[in-house]
Amino acid sequence: MGDKVFSLAQVSEHNTSKDCWLIINGKVYDVTKFLEDHPGGDEVLLSATGKDATDDFEDVGHSSTARAMMDEYYVGEMDTSTIPTKTKYTPPNQPQYNQDKTSEFIIKLLQFLVPLAILGLAVAVRFYTKSA
Ligand code: HEM
């Protein structure tokens, strides 16, 4: 059958309580007449319009009776390429963390060695002045 194919923008035009379309599992449903009769209330349906409502619909765990009712409201297929896929997480840019610890290590080493060298020098001076 030559089912109608809708884009997200087209479906999103029907996003009011007087004209409400839903996208569930790649199919488009006109639930305007069903809003008042929906056991879950009209508000949830209105909050699910204008986007892919598949997750919202599945999260409720609708019965097979509910799924059978959907045929009545079917108006066409969804052009799924117009639905944005899940946004990819990109971590915020952070200042470069210095992985190279060599310079830090050399400073620590010098902080330890310099006083030791002075001490050694003092001992040496004392030793030589004594024997002289
Ligand atoms: C054409 C689409 C839909 C149909 C035909 C439909 C039908 C039904 C039916 C028959 C029930 C009674 C319980 C059951 O049989 O599972 C129900 C409950 C419910 N539905 Fe839907 N529904 C639709 C879409 C949605 C969407 C998109 C949402 C979420 C945004 C939703 C949320 C709920 C909630 C919250 C309940 C109440 C569950 C409870 O109180 O236990 N429904 N629906």
Residue 44 Cβ inside 6 Å of ligand 1? The answer reads: yes
Given ligand 1 and candidates 62, 65, 67, which is best to mutate, with the most ligand atoms within 8 Å of its CB?
Answer: 62
Q: Is the full-model pTM beyond 0.80? A: no
Long-range contacts of residues 6-15, Cβ cutoff 8 Å, at least 24 apart: 6/75, 6/76, 6/77, 6/78, 6/79, 7/79, 7/82, 8/51, 8/52, 8/78, 8/79, 8/82, 8/83, 8/84, 9/82, 11/50, 11/78, 12/49, 12/50, 12/51, 14/49, 15/46, 15/49, 15/50
Could you report the per-residue pLDDT of 24-46, keeping only the tens digit for each?
A: 999 999 999 999 999 999 999 99
pLDDT of residue 61: 95
Going by alpha carbons, the residue nearest to atom 24 of ligand 1 is 57
Residue 21 Cβ inside 6 Å of ligand 1? The answer reads: no
